[in-house]
Amino acid sequence: MPDFDKIAQAVLELDGDKVVELVEQVIKEGVAPEKIINDGLVAGIEKVGVLFKSGELFVPEVVVATSAMKMGLSLVEPLLKGKKRDRLGLVVLGT
C-alpha cells in the first residue's frame, strides 16, 4: 500500500530528492498517476499553502516546495500522456 503521506511530507520538508525517490517507488508499485498527483503531491503543496497563509512559511520556502512538487510531477506526467480522460462537458463561449 503506497504511503502518500510520505510524499506530501517530503514536499512539505522541501526535499525534492526524497519526493523523486518516493514517487518512483509508487510508480513501480503500479499506482495510478492521478492518485499520486492528488493524494501525494497536491496534498503536500496544500499543506504548504496553509502554512504560508498562517505565516509559518515564506515565499522562498513556497518556491522550493513547488520545485520539489514539480520534480515528482515530471515523473508522473509521461504516464498521463495518451491516457483517455473522461469528458466533463462542453463549454461554448460567445461574444
Q: Does 84 have pLDDT greater than 70?
A: no
**83, pLDDT greater than 90:** no
Give me the count of residues in the chain.
Answer: 95
Task: Work out the pLDDT band at 81, boundaries 50, 70, 90.
Answer: confident
Residue 95 has pLDDT above 90, yes or no: no
Under 8 Å between Cβ of 4 and 40: yes
Residue 40, number of CB atoms within 10 A of its CB: 28
CA gyration radius, the chain:
15
Question: What whole-number distance in Å separates Cα of residue 37 and Cα of residue 57?
Answer: 22
Main-chain phi, psi angles of 87, to 5 degrees:
-90, 125
